[in-house]
């Protein structure tokens, strides 16, 4: 169906179609209208989901973690301070490898207060054993949310997935949206068919691990994260066929085939980068865009495909103080042996306008 929705409602619609059973809701700008929408869906009985109206983000993640280990499909969403407050349980859920999908409406982190968009909150979760995807536009946010549920529950993976999309820029912007019909979504994401709690075979979930065992848990998590690369590509292809919209897996290369220079970026401003690429190409500059759709696992191998260019320009909407641009650092590490100049550009921090005449 072709319609138009703001990003928050598009994600809520995708979640509704994925038929979750337990949702945890706690307000924070700019994520709030997504959970309001889900609350109204649940109130109407579709999906047949229970809403836990928790008293904090810490409890939002904890409650859906509990529901997920008991076999329920679950979802919650947050932003910024909320994501930071949730962090302890985000790591806990990642360590236990429980299928969870969380929508992150990205936003700057205080202090000082800022409700505006950057990626500092999102990238701060990169070591939590979560798959992290990042949408470019409202359509992407809808499509990725559906894929996130399937990736998360794939038995070769079984990891929580975070779907990031830029606060206000996408959450509150209405765009054209092409949705799948419910039956197609049902066939794409069948009912979850496993759980961890079995009353006939009781176990301890998350007990103390000795030094010898802890490393085994973490090693298996590392392997699952590596395996997920192939699964993400596979599910992306399947979804491309179902939707007729090319999904590009871990990374999209836009006009990169003959490009001398490549911009690397993730999120909404990848759309601006596309326009910039077209504009520069009209002036004879051979440039392309590598859009990171997934940053955990980081698509190192895919980036190797562009190692022989003149230069890469990495856009970061977040910063590691005392180090540098976070994506830039990762791109440099991935292409360590490639001997290619990699330039780091930091911009859009705290929602600051980023464009041709940008200055601090």
Partner 1 sequence: MNFLKGNAACPGCPITKELDAILDVYGKKTAVVVPASCSTVIMGDTVLGMLSPVNVVHSPFAAAASIASGLSTAMEFRKDNANILVWAGDGSTSDIGFAAVSGAAERNEDITYVCYDNEAYMNTGIQRSSLTPYGAWTTTTPSHKHEFKKPLPLIIAMHNVPYVATASISYLADFKAKFSKAKSMKGFRYIHLLSPCPPGWKFDASLTMNIGKLAVETGMWPLYEIENGVFKLSSISKPYVDKAKRKPLEEYLKLQERFSGLSNEELANMQAYIDEMWNYIAKVNNSKVIP
Which residues sit at the interface with partner 1, rule CB under 8 A?
A: 21-22, 24, 50, 52-56, 58-60, 62-72, 74, 88-89, 92, 197-199, 202-210, 213
For partner 1, the closer CB: 206 or 341: 206
For partner 1, the closer CB: 89 or 289: 89
For partner 1, the closer CB: 88 or 301: 88
Least distance from C-beta 154 to partner 1, angstroms?
Answer: 20
Least distance from C-beta 149 to partner 1, angstroms?
Answer: 16
Q: What are the backbone dihedrals phi and psi of residue 76, each rounded to the nearest 5 degrees, phi first?
A: -145, 175
Least distance from C-beta 207 to partner 1, angstroms?
Answer: 5
- Tokens linked to 141: 């946010």
Q: What are the backbone dihedrals phi and psi of residue 264, each rounded to the nearest 5 degrees, phi first?
A: -110, 125
Is the Cβ–Cβ distance between 58 and 85 less than 8 Å? Answer: yes
- Tokens linked to 293: 């759709």
Is the Cβ–Cβ distance between 118 and 316 less than 8 Å? Answer: no
DSSP state of 179: P
**Bridging pattern class, strands 131-134 and 161-166:** parallel
d(CA 59, CA 69): 15
Least distance from C-beta 237 to partner 1, angstroms?
Answer: 32
Closest CA to 291 of 313, 319, 263, 316: 263
* Strands lying side by side in the sheet with 251-254: 251-254, 287-292, 261-265, 311-316, 342-346
For partner 1, the closer CB: 197 or 311: 197
d(CA 10, CA 27): 18
For partner 1, the closer CB: 63 or 236: 63
* Residue 277 C-alpha from the chain's centroid: 24
Least distance from C-beta 360 to partner 1, angstroms?
Answer: 40
For partner 1, the closer CB: 192 or 302: 192
Least distance from C-beta 33 to partner 1, angstroms?
Answer: 22
For partner 1, the closer CB: 98 or 138: 98
- Tokens linked to 339: 């001997």
Least distance from C-beta 144 to partner 1, angstroms?
Answer: 24
């Amino acid at each position: 169906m072709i319609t138009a929705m703001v990003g928050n409602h598009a994600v809520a619609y995708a979640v509704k179609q994925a038929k979750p059973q337990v949702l945890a809701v706690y307000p924070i700008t700019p994520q709030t209208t997504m959970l309001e929408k889900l609350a109204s869906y649940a109130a109407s009985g579709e999906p047949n989901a229970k809403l836990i109206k928790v008293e904090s983000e810490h409890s939002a993640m904890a409650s859906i973690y509990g529901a997920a280990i008991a076999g329920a499909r679950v979802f919650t969403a947050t932003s910024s301070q909320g994501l930071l407050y949730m962090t302890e349980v985000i790591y806990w859920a990642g360590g236990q490898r429980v299928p969870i999908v969380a929508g992150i409406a990205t936003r700057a982190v205080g202090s000082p207060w800022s409700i505006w968009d950057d990626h500092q909150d999102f990238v701060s979760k990169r070591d939590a054993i979560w798959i992290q995807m990042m949408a470019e536009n409202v359509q992407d946010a809808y499509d990725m949310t559906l894929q996130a549920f399937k990736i998360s529950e794939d038995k070769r993976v079984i990891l929580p997935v975070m779907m990031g999309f830029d606060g206000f820029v996408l959450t509150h912007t209405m765009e054209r949206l092409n949705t799948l019909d419910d039956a197609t979504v049902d066939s794409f994401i069948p009912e979850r068919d496993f759980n961890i709690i079995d009353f006939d075979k009781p176990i301890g979930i998350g007990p103390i691990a000795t030094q010898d065992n802890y490393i085994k848990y973490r090693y298996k998590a590392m392997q699952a994260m590596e395996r997920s690369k192939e699964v993400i590509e596979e599910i992306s292809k399947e979804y491309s066929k179902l939707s007729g919209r090319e999904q590009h897996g871990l990374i999209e290369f836009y006009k990169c085939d003959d490009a001398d220079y490549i911009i690397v970026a993730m999120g909404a401003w990848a759309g601006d980068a596309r326009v910039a690429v077209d504009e520069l190409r009209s002036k004879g500059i051979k440039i392309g865009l590598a859009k990171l759709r997934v940053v955990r696992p980081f698509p190192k191998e895919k980036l190797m495909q562009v190692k022989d260019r003149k230069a890469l320009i990495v856009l970061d909407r977040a910063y590691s103080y005392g180090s540098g641009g976070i994506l830039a650092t990762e791109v440099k590490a991935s292409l360590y042996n490639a001997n290619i100049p990699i330039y780091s550009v930091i911009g859009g921090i705290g929602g600051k306008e980023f464009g041709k005449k940008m200055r601090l």
